Amino acid sequence: MVSLLRADLKDAAIDQQPLAIANSSGALSAGFLLHGNWDGRTVRPSGDFVAAIEGSGITQYYPYSELPPTPSGDLSELTPESHREAFWNSVKSLGT
């Protein structure tokens, strides 16, 4: 398990976003636990932290012409085709 920390600047918070990977008898499974609900999952750092992140330039938005028009939707909207292939290869590797 890898516990990733995601900065949520809109909420001025840091959220845990664990990635779990299991290998049982050669069968590999993995997945993110998104928007979990447990004590301590979200922490609110000092304002200095948020100011440092925003001042670093990492939050600058560089548009990518291949982004789908919406944050969720039909898989056919994923372009180029390699993004759909990445999705299906991920699903296949989980054994579903």
pTM of the full predicted structure?
A: 0.56
Of the chain, the end-to-end C-alpha distance in Å amounts to 20
Angle (CA) 61 65 66, round 5°: 115
> What's residue 43's pLDDT?
92
Question: Could you give the CA distance from residue 53 to residue 57 in angstroms, rounded to a whole number?
Answer: 7
Q: How far apart are CA 53 and CA 31, in angstroms?
A: 27
Strands 13-24, 27-32: parallel, antiparallel or unpaired by DSSP? antiparallel
Q: Region 63-82: what's the mean pLDDT?
A: 78
Mean pLDDT, the chain, rounded, equals: 82
